[in-house]
Amino acid sequence: MESEDTKKIQEMKTDLNLLLECLKYQMDNPVSQKEALVTIHSICQQNSNAGLYFREIGGLVFVKDLAKSSEHSMVKEASLYTLGTVAEKNVYCQQTLCTSELFEDLICFLSNDDSNTNLKRMSVYVILVLVSNNRTGQTLVRETGCIQVLSQLFRTVLSNYELNLSDKSVFQSYQLWSSVCSTLCVCVNNPQNDENQMLCCSLFQHANDWLINCMIPEIIRPVCSFIGLTLANNTFVQKYFISVGGLDVLSQVLVQLESDSHKTLSSAKLAVVVTKTVDACIADNPTFGEVLSKYHIVSKLLALLLHESLDSGDKFSIILTLGHCTEACEENQYELFKNNGLPLMIQALTESQNEELNKAATFVLFNCKKITEKLSLREKPSDENEAEQLKDINTKEKNIEEYWKRAKEILHRIEQLEREENEEKIQREKDKDNVSFMNISTQNTLKHLHTDGTGGDPKAEDMNENQPRKLRSYASRGFTSKACASTSDDQMKTLVTSANPVNACYRESGQNKTLCRANSSCNQDSHKETFGKKDFVSQSSNHVFKHPNPIVKNRKQQLPVTDPFILCSDIINKEVMNSLSADNSFKIPKYRCSEILLTPRRRRQLSNEPTTSGGISEYI
């Protein structure tokens, strides 16, 4: 097996050497050069180590120069495609190619009017690969002015809102535009780059125009990915987006898609994409939820939540958005209440096994608890603004009695959930006390053994000192509990990070999972920022979600014991435990563990004496 692998590696090296020679000696034959480049691409695609070897023999540098110097467009395109593939498969090759010189060459290809659409697509593909997961690439794309060129392509490549994708030339332009969207996404996020986010703010107005005028999946998905990643975790950019009407535009699109979702399943999925973008916009600024109240977004989200085609991930995104909508806006809280949103949240808690979804539902319940109490108790508001809000609400609703009645029921169920949490805590404390009591009983029995052996009474202060010490030592290693956390900024995972230009259309790739998190490794700062704002969520996580069974760590590690004293102590402990489960008459067998501690002289002195329990306790 090892010889076969060695043989394959040697064959791969031989092939790459021959192909590189072919490239060098076929400068007047562009067709042969293209075929050689495609073959190199195929080899490096199958084996990432092939790219490393190709770099070692100077292949990467030669192909990069060939893309710049060749007069034939087909050779330029094949060269760029090969460079992108090798860099995508191997991070060392990516670092080798990530130079300002290459970025400047790519800018020339993109800016040259003589460059055809396919050559521009290959250039954008190489930029995407060099920038993805690479902060150095993000810096170079900004410092060389490449991001400005990409922004200009975003504005100009598609000039007509009426897209006829069946037309070949229009479809090629759309492919270039979608690749530009993907590349801009990795420029601003993955990892998050505040400076590049600021530069891309200028494209928000153009993105809004596309969302309003061309409401099709081929436009909405890439535009929402771009918007969501550009404003993710950046308060200044979020405020700017809202100032140019971005949140209003997203709200209008969401209302339309929710209405269409009753007819087509694809509209429901598309509405979830827009919902994630809305959430990214308001997550760090809950007060912006007031903008959404104008469009009754809460009721639309609740209707969307009931759609049968959505999976648990989609529902989590919707509920999380509801949480941010209701976090600081009483109008949205009341809208959720009167549209039966609270029973839906409670149902999610009781039926779903998804821990993140349960946390999001708890978040919503906590946000709406205050207004639920007001409606159920008919409290007189202490604040004039609150009084005015409730007055407006009362004037809008003719039959407020029905809502009061429902509020009492919801509040009762929320309180019931809280009581269940308290009961679980009490039960855990009881379990802890029971185990501690068993431990103290064992300790007391050992003391009685010592008393029987020496004929004396244990001192009161010894018992008072030992028991608390034992309790403290046991509590420190008894039960452990860890709160689960998730990341709020991990919701925008819709980006295409590997937009392979050979494919016919824009598609999502597996690398979506590495994007936006602004570091999900995210995964993983889970919604610490989202739920960490509320102590309630962290506290109630133990209540809403199932607890793992308490684990009591072994009192002693099962390790080889050589200390004679510990050997004797173990024998006594075993006997004590046996006596606790037997009858009350307690007898000690004639273990001769005391002899382990005796010197030869002392052993001879005791050889004629009977072994008693006093002999054991004497040496403890």
Q: Per-residue pLDDT tens for 567-619?
A: 444 444 454 455 444 444 444 444 333 343 444 444 444 444 444 333 323 32
Question: Is it the case that residue 51 has pLDDT exceeding 60?
Answer: yes
Q: What is the mean pLDDT of residues 155-184?
A: 94
Cα separation, 478 vs 435, in Å, equals: 9
pTM, two decimal places:
0.66
Q: Say which residue the tokens 């760590």 belong to.
A: 553
Question: Is it the case that residue 505 has pLDDT exceeding 50?
Answer: no
Question: Is it the case that residue 117 has pLDDT exceeding 90?
Answer: yes
DSSP assignment of 397-437, as one string? -S-HHHHHHHHHHHHHHHHHHHHHHHHHHHHHHHHHHHHHH
Cα separation, 186 vs 452, in Å, equals: 77
DSSP assignment of 203-216, as one string? GHHHHHHHHHH--S
Q: Which residues does 84 contact at the CB level (< 8 Å), separation at least 6? A: 122, 125, 126, 128, 129, 501
pLDDT score recorded for residue 432 = 67
Query: For residues 89 and 573, which has the higher predicted lDDT (pLDDT)?
Result: 89
**Range scoring the smallest mean pLDDT among 115-119, 138-142, 384-388, 468-472:** 468-472
- DSSP type of residue 201: G
- Cβ-contact 545, 358 below 8 angstroms: yes
When pLDDT is cut at 50, 70 and 90, the band that residue 190 belongs to is confident
Grouping H, G, I as helix, E, B as strand and the rest as coil, residue 320 is helix
pLDDT tens for each residue of 320-344: 999 999 999 999 999 999 999 999 9
pLDDT score recorded for residue 383 = 57
Grouping H, G, I as helix, E, B as strand and the rest as coil, residue 282 is helix
Q: Say which residue the tokens 């200009």 belong to.
A: 152
pLDDT score recorded for residue 374 = 76
Q: Give the helix, strand, coil percentages of the chain, each rounded to 5.
A: 70, 0, 30
Q: Which helix (H) or strand (E) holds 607?
A: none
Instruction: List helix spans (H) across 294-354.
Output: 297-305, 312-326, 330-338, 341-351
Preceding peptide of 548 cis, ω within 30°: no
Token pair of 63 as six digits: 């192909």
Q: Say which residue the tokens 């110097």 belong to.
A: 69
Any idea where the domains of the chain sit in the sequence?
1-97, 99-202, 245-376+406-411
pLDDT score recorded for residue 439 = 57
**Range scoring the smallest mean pLDDT among 101-110, 229-238, 314-323, 430-439:** 430-439
pLDDT tens for each residue of 457-492: 434 344 344 433 333 333 333 322 333 333 334 433
When pLDDT is cut at 50, 70 and 90, the band that residue 187 belongs to is very high
CA 56 to chain centre: 38
CATH no. of 245-376+406-411? 1.25.10.10
